[in-house]
Amino acid sequence: MKANRELVMIPGPTPVVESIRKQMERETASFKDPDFLNDFNQVIADLKELWQSDEVFVLVGSGTLAMEVAVSNIVQKPDPVLVISHGYFGDRMIELCQRKGLEVDTMTSEWGKAIPVEEVEQKLAEKNYRAVFSTHADTSTGVKAPVVELGKLLSGYPDTLFVVDGVCSTAGEAEAMKDMHIDILFTASQKALGVPPGLAIVWANEKALKRREELGDIPEYYADFHKWLPIMHDPNNYFGTPAVNLIWALNQALKIIKAEGLQNRFERHRLWGGAVQQALEEMGFHILAEKGSRASTLSNVIYMEGVEDAEFRSVLKQEGVVVAGGLGSYAGKAFRLGHMGNIDLNELVTVVTAIEKALHRLGQPVEFGKSANIVLDSILKG
């Protein structure tokens, strides 16, 4: 029998709560409508304040556009850059930088492991990189990069910009541009912000904007900071049509974040992520990311002997929970579970319980209720 309601627990898009969904249903206003302009201004102000940024760009597009914007505005052919990759999306950044004709040095980890900061430090001694790129949480591995330590290290290199891909982390993992010495941070709407897909968000500090100035004209048009700055300073200006309903939805998501408190939200993700990972391990799964480098926003979960990927995910879907398949060499060997954004504790308990039910249906030994116990105990009792 099919579940009444499906919880989409892939690592983005994440479940969209009713108050955000309602913004998507509204009749679309003119992008010159004074009420809409107020809301857009509020979004820009909140994004800058919450993530400690000098500027922010809210564009129509997905996370990959945000990657392109981040690169195009601070480096140009044949600048040397360093890309730290902990998986598929780090590798995407490598490819993007290569396409731009940059001189790309890479540091790539074995999937599941994080590159030690000391190795990055050695690498920085070899060359004057114009920029260093790192994914905060790589969605293909669930590995979290040591962004605080990397930022500290890079603060000693005034000519090198530090760029963080927060597509699978922003609004879930602790991020603050100034405190963490990040020059560009970018994300997309559909993950820990809990908004439907369609917005690319790029934060930039003074240092990054100064670099943009130095580059003069760049070949990119839509992705150019200079085209968008007048709009971000006053949304009454026009360059490209804003996604009106998505901006309303983001405004509502930011209200939710401010009511929760950004630091509380980070702490909730840390606690909940750890609890889910513990419950999964107790069920007999393995978590791909090594302990100490696990993202709080998602888990890459390796199957135990005897569980077949397609069958597990299809049975789990019947039980009401949708998860994603593994990527790269983990396709067929692991599933990816998102636990970020605006999900609530009841939903989290439902998810681990549905996983127990799916395992049981597949003939695996299961102690019903154990994972709900673990989740509730560790979250409510600490």
Main-chain phi, psi angles of 317, to 5 degrees: -65, -40
Establish if 91 lies at the interface with ligand PMP (CB under 6 A).
no
Select 47 or 279, whichever has its Cβ closest to ligand PMP.
47
CB of 15 to ligand PMP, least distance (A): 16
Q: Give the x/- contact pattern for ligand PMP in 284-323, rule: CB under 6 A.
A: ----------------------------------------
Binding mask 97-136 toward ligand PMP (x if CB under 6 A, else -) reads --------------------------------------x-
Tell me which residue has tokens 């998986």.
87
Cβ of residue 64: shortest distance to ligand PMP, in angstroms? 3
Q: Is 229 exposed, middle or buried (0-12, 13-18, 19+ CB in 10 A)?
A: middle
Read out DSSP for 244-280? HHHHHHHHHHHHHHHHH-HHHHHHHHHHHHHHHHHHH
Query: Which residue reads 């009841």 in tokens?
Result: 346
Q: For residue 339, what are the CA distances in angstroms to 13, 42, 274, 344?
A: 11, 27, 10, 10
Quote the least distance from Cβ 92 to ligand PMP, whole Å: 6
Site for ligand PMP contains 188 (CB under 6 A): yes
CA dihedral of 321, 326, 330, 333, whole degrees rounded to 10:
20
What number of H helices and E strands is found in the chain?
13, 15
Least CB distance to ligand PMP at residue 316 (A): 20
Of the candidate residues 165, 175, 183, 224, the single one contacting ligand PMP (CB under 6 A): 165
Residue 168 touches ligand PMP, criterion: CB under 6 A: yes
Residue nearest to ligand PMP (CB): 63
Helix, strand, coil shares of the chain, percent, nearest 5, are 45, 15, 40
Query: Of the two residues 44 and 168, which places its CB atom closer to ligand PMP in the complex?
Result: 168
Cα–chain center distance at 39: 24
**Site residues (vs ligand PMP, CB under 6 A):** 12, 62-64, 67, 89, 135, 138-139, 165, 167-168, 188
